[in-house]
Structure 1
Amino acid sequence: MKNKNNTLALAEFIARFQLQPPGNYPPSRNLRQAAVLIPIICHQTPTVLLTRRASSLRKHAGQVAFPGGSADPGDDSLIATALREAQEEVSIPSNAVRILGQLPPVDSNSGFQVTPIIGLLDSGTSFHASRDEVSEIFEIPLHQALTLASYTPLQIQRNAKTLRVYFSWYQSHMVWGMTAQILYRLGEQIHH
């Protein structure tokens, strides 16, 4: 799975993603639709683009996230939702994204069924944060983002239910919650 430089080879990632079925996860309980884009940048050592949400936002302020949001009535699909939100939040042109596929939906704490859409971007793609929504854009090496040992599970109680939450650190960034859960699930699928 790794080449001699200890990096996840992009061609191998793509093949494993397309050939390995996703894990058997419980069906989503939420009805409101949302989508996020998992932008994989095709550098020599591939990376995943993440954002830090603006501290002024009502929900999930300051958290590390993928570009994304709720579906609009005018969106033709959840892929269109993810691409529209990525354009709005970090100026990724829709035509610059090669859609690889999607993961099963994840329930958010805010009542959304969030579908992760995986897209490939050329290494020359430029990004610009919408300051209303994003305070920072950064990248994590793909091999680190998908290494299951990078994540620490924590059991928490919420509404009389025990939930497993994952945490991971990259430099000064704590990746946790739904973002970590999505990356962990993708890592499980790739390493299966």
Structure 2
Amino acid sequence: MHFNELSMEMFLSRFQLLQPGTGEMSRNARQAAVLVPVVRRRQPGLLLTRRSPRLRKHAGQVAFPGGAADSTDPSLVATALREACEEVSIPPDVVDIIGVLPAVDSVTGFSVTPVVGVIPPGIHYHANQDEVADVFEMPLAEALHLARYHPLDVYRQNNAHRVWLSWYQHYFVWGMTAGIIRQVALQIGMDT
């Protein structure tokens, strides 16, 4: 599929993931989850945030809404929904969860589960200013265009770790966020 031919119907039909269960959270590893919000439009969008420059970790970086699991969260899906509500005011009951991607290890020691959900257009986002500087939407077809991502191999403790880099308008999209977007593109079979 070419990147400029992606409609909402095509995206949903190609996204062949199982519905997530309420999976138990590991007590041995720090768990986190992010919501990968796809905005339901004829030409869908991908909702992203830019983290506050005042944050201690990942300040100013483009990210999906999400964060660490609380002991009161019944699942990692619930974590992603709670965090999206806290960070950008996406009501959990309007999110149609369509699947989860495999967990990704973060450099800060979390196992991060990407939860893919479809949200309606017209939500009035209210960024939590303590955590989020900007909320923006990127056309999903453009976001999933694999050729826009460039690899960079970083070495930590003598181990190679590949990170992906990209730009959208004046936003630098890289690291885990770019990797998750690439994983969605690979999942649905986007062309380069």
TM over 0.5, yes or no? yes
Q: Distance between the aligned counterparts of 2:52 and 2:157, measured in 1? A: 27
Alignment of 1:105-124 (within 5 A): 105-124=103-122
Match of 1:23 in 2: none
The aligned residue for residue 141 of structure 1 is 139
Between the aligned partners of 1:77 and 1:65, the Cα distance in structure 2 is 21
- Do the aligned partners of residues 161 and 103 (structure 1) sit closer, same or farther apart at CA in structure 2, a change above 3 Å counting? same
Contact 2:17 2:100 in 1 (8 A): no
Aligned-pair CA distance for 1:2: 5.2
Deviations 1:111-161 (Å, cap 9, x if unpaired)? 000000001011122211000000000111101111111101111111211
What CA distance in whole angstroms lies between the structure 2 residues aligned with 1:12 and 1:43? 12
Partner of 1:45: 43
Name the Cα RMSD after superposition: 1.6
Pick from 50, 67, 79 the counterpart of residue 77 of structure 2.
79
Rounded Cα–Cα distance in structure 2 between residues aligned with 1:77 and 1:33: 10
Seq. identity, %? 55
> Which residue, out of 8, 11, 14, partners 2:9?
11
Among candidates 152, 155, 163, match of residue 153 of structure 2: 155
Counterpart amino acid of residue 81 in structure 1: T
TM-score by length of 1: 0.90
* Matched residue type, 1:66: F
State the match for 1:102 in structure 2: 100
Matches of 1:93 and 1:120, distance apart in 2: 12
Among candidates 171, 177, 180, match of residue 178 of structure 2:
180
Runs of 5+ unmatched residues, structure 1? 21-29
User: 1:19: Cα distance to partner?
Assistant: 6.1
Distance 1:2 1:185 in 2: 16
Q: TM-score, normalised by structure 2?
A: 0.90
Distance 1:182 1:162 in 2: 19
Aligned residues: 181
Inter-CA distance 72–19: structure 2 relative to 1 (3 Å threshold): closer
